[in-house]
Amino acid sequence: MNDDSQSDVVNPTRRVFLRNTGTTAAAVFIGVSGAPQLNLTLTAEAATEENAVGANIDGAVPITLRINGKDHQLRIDPRTTLLDCIRETVTLTGTKKGCDHGQCGACTVHVNGRRVNSCLSLALMHDGEEITTIEGLGTPDAMHPMQAAFVAHDGYQCGYCTSGQIMSAVALLKEPCGPDDAAVKECMSGNICRCGAYANIIAAIQKVRHNA
């Protein structure tokens, strides 16, 4: 059965759906207390525009971030980390927030080809730089070899750390790293996997390295 026709009708992301649900709930509450009737269409459009440029809050500053080859004109609070900007403002939610203090690696992205902890960096530091997130590596239909290797070797359990693991693993391919498993473990020590999928993660990485 082909579900495309159905999913094309309305294809909201979970994020937009939740946001609009929340807005609706608030509007309904106001409605009960005598406010005018709510207009769902307008609410949805406002939320979409907000996503595109960032909230026009007091003290927000403009910035252009280049993510996965595309320029994003944004307005952000100067306190916004690169991680929060990627996830909340640009709504690329493949990059995950784990510890938010540079201790777990879930937020790993590439800046100018090098892996960094996006949680410990301000978005404002990165205007004009090339930022790559997990969404920029591959797609479900055309996976990056490292993504395919993680699938083939079962390099995850819950999957929360996986995008950070893969971003680190892809960067590792171009870094000085010894050939053996011990060297890979050391180079990957900045990415914590709470499920303990390490053995399979190492196997996936070594497979890609041997194929390279």
Q: Contact with another protein (CB under 8 A): which of 62, 71, 186, 194?
A: 186
Strands 70-76 and 61-67: what pairing? antiparallel
Query: Token pair of 15, please?
Result: 């994020």
Q: In what order do the strands lie in the sheet with 61-67?
A: 70-76, 61-67, 130-132, 108-111, 114-117
Distance CA 162, CA 158 (A): 8
Nearer to another protein, 68 or 117 (CB): 117
Contact track, another protein, 42-61, x by CB under 8 A: -----------------x-x
Q: Write the DSSP string, 106-143.
A: TTEEEETTEEEEGGGSBGGGGTTSEEE-GGGT-BTTB-
Spatial contact of 132 and 146, defined as CB atoms under 8 Å apart: no
| Nearest CA among 107, 106, 110, 130 for reference residue 118 | 107
Is 78 an interacting residue with respect to another protein (CB under 8 A)?
Answer: yes
Q: Does 172 bind another protein (CB under 8 A)?
A: yes
Using CB under 8 A as the binding rule, whether residue 174 contacts another protein is answered as no
Pick the piece of the chain touching another protein (CB under 8 A) from 3-11, 46-54, 155-163, 187-195.
187-195
With CA atoms as reference, report the closest residue to 146 among 118, 131, 167: 167
Among 115, 156, 204, 207, binds another protein (CB under 8 A): 115
Residue placing its CB nearer to another protein in the complex, 19 or 106 = 106
Binding status of residue 193 toward another protein by CB under 8 A: no
Nearer to another protein, 9 or 57 (CB): 57
Question: Which CB sits closer to another protein, 6 or 112?
Answer: 112
Under the criterion CB under 8 A, does residue 202 sit at the interface with another protein?
no
Residue 74 carries which side chain, given as an amino acid letter? L
- Residue 160 CB, nearest distance to another protein (Å)? 17
124 binds another protein (CB under 8 A): yes
Is residue 188 within 8 A of residue 201, CB to CB? The reply is yes
Binding part of the chain for another protein, among 78-86, 150-158, 194-202, 204-212 by CB under 8 A, reads 78-86
Rg from Cα positions in the chain? 20
Question: Under the rule (CB under 8 A), what is the footprint of another protein?
Answer: 59, 61, 77-79, 81, 100-102, 105, 108, 114-117, 120-122, 124-125, 168, 171-172, 175-176, 185-187, 189-191
